[in-house]
Amino acid sequence: MSSVFVNNLNNYTLDKLGFSCYIITMKDNKDFIVTTKNGTRWAATGRSIEDVSRNWWGSQIGLEIASIELGRLFTHEEEEELRKEKIEMMSW
C-alpha cells in the first residue's frame, strides 16, 4: 500500500492510504520581527531565528533581511483592533 505525505508549515506526517491522514501542529512557534534592508518591518513566526530566516517569504520577491529579533510587531490589543477594522471594511 502506498503512503501519503502531508506537509503543514514544515511539520510532516506519514500515513498509509485508506487510513486517516492527520496533521501535527507545533505549539512551540515564537513571534519574530524581521527588518528588511530598506527598513520595512514584518511579523513572522517560527521555532528559531534560523527557522524564520530559512522560510522568509520575502526572499522570493527580492526582500533581503537586515535583522531578525524576537518580539511582536503589534500587541495583542493592537492586533484585535486591526482585525476588527479589517472585518468592518470587508462588510462595506
- Residue 12 pLDDT more than 90? no
**Rounded to whole angstroms, how far apart are CA atoms 78 and 69?**
19
C-alpha cell at 1: 500500500
Give the model confidence (pLDDT) of 21-77 as tens digits.
Answer: 555 555 689 999 999 999 999 999 999 999 999 999 999 999 999 999 999 999 999
Q: List CB contacts of 38: < 8 A, sequence separation 6 or more.
A: 63
Maximum CA extent, the chain: 52
Cβ contact 65:56 at 8 Å: yes
- Residue 6 pLDDT more than 60? no
Using the CB atoms, write b or e for 36-65: b if 16+ within 10 Å.
beeeeebebebeebebbeeebeeeeeebeb
